[in-house]
Amino acid sequence: MEGPNDSSVSERESSMATKRQDQITRKAPSIVFSTTTRQINENGEKTTRVVPTTTLLPTSGIQEVSVMELKLQPEVQDDCDICLETLSSLELEYSFCGSDCPLKACKECIAKHFKDTISSGYDGILRKMTCPACVKRSVPVSLWGPVCSSNQTTLYSRRAAILLTLQCSGCHERKTILPDEDENQVLPTDGMPKAVKEELLMEFERFNDGKINDQELYERISTYFFSFENLPNPWLVMQPILQKIRDEGFRAELYLRYLRHYPKVSTICCEAEQCFRCRTEDWHDGMTCEEMRKELEAEQLSDDVLNCPECDIQLVSPPSYLLS
């Protein structure tokens, strides 16, 4: 049985334990960090905000805390290669487009570089998104997209689609024939030797990362697929390759290079077969683009050019709106 003073003793012991824990907590070492945030205001001026943050070290199992010395490494400073401003290394991007990239720049300068690149383009032309340091290397949207706004990435995708626009002969509307990305698409590598298949897949990923350009990849594809004579339908090979390309701009560039050699296309909306090169209403089966052009010119001349019944001089027929 408990004595009359047992409860008061327990309360005193509990109070003393709580007080000891409070003393340990007050004596526990803490680290004060400062977080520096750099922003650009509406006037284009750079502002710096320093926010101190106090972090307590864990006190679990500490019976008595003495003086603890923490040696923190000093903050490393470095210069941005573009604006030349001295900043903390935490605010700089290193090797932006790859491990061999020499770029060392702040995020604001990198974002401005890609924003200016997009702004300098227009519908009908797609600027290559090159690295500020590696000017011959294209940077995929997966790298530059996070430092830019969604409006800029949307504009980039729209201009890539415009490069492949064609007026459909079925619905008579101007639409793109650029296929969408399909990550579940499988590359047509069945029957290939293992070494050749691995080499092709490696080159394909290098293109997705911007390490090789569309001409280099197309040469590989031509060697593996299009070197065979009488290939029944090259598009069955090219379509899954295009749909495995993540960057819309990269996909459009490779598709345009393919169309230089195989201009026959099928519109996405109506599946109308047309020629992308000479833009005829239907595909000119059995005729080259040059032969088709001459035939169209001859038809146009027969309709618009008349012979004078008196002197047999050729006269150009006036437009119909002048005759009404």
Q: Which two tokens stand for residue 155?
A: 């504009």
Q: Is 102 within 8 Å of 125 (Cβ atoms)?
A: no
CA 44 to chain centre: 26
Strand spans (E) along 238-292: 264-266, 273-275
The pTM score is 0.68
Q: Is 161 within 8 Å of 252 (Cβ atoms)?
A: yes
Dist CA 257 CA 207 (whole Å)? 14
Query: Side-chain half-sphere of 201: how many Cα atoms within 13 Å?
Result: 12
Segment holding 56, helix H or strand E: strand 46-56
Task: Kindly give the confidence (pLDDT) of every residue in the chain, 324 residues in length, as a single tens digit, with 9 standing for 90 and above.
Answer: 445 555 555 566 556 555 555 544 444 444 444 454 555 555 555 555 544 444 444 544 444 444 444 444 556 789 999 999 999 888 899 989 888 899 999 999 999 999 999 999 888 888 999 999 998 899 999 999 999 999 999 999 999 999 999 999 899 899 999 999 998 888 888 888 888 888 888 999 999 999 999 999 999 888 888 765 556 788 988 999 999 999 999 999 999 999 998 999 999 999 999 999 888 778 888 888 888 878 877 766 555 656 566 555 556 666 554 555
Residue 167 Ramachandran class (φ > 0 left, ψ -120 to 50 alpha, else beta): beta
CA 95 to chain centre: 17
Q: Is 198 within 8 Å of 187 (Cβ atoms)?
A: no
Angle CA 129–134–140, to nearest 5: 35
Work out the number of other CB atoms within 10 angstroms of the CB of residue 219.
13
Domain ranges in the chain? 78-148, 180-275
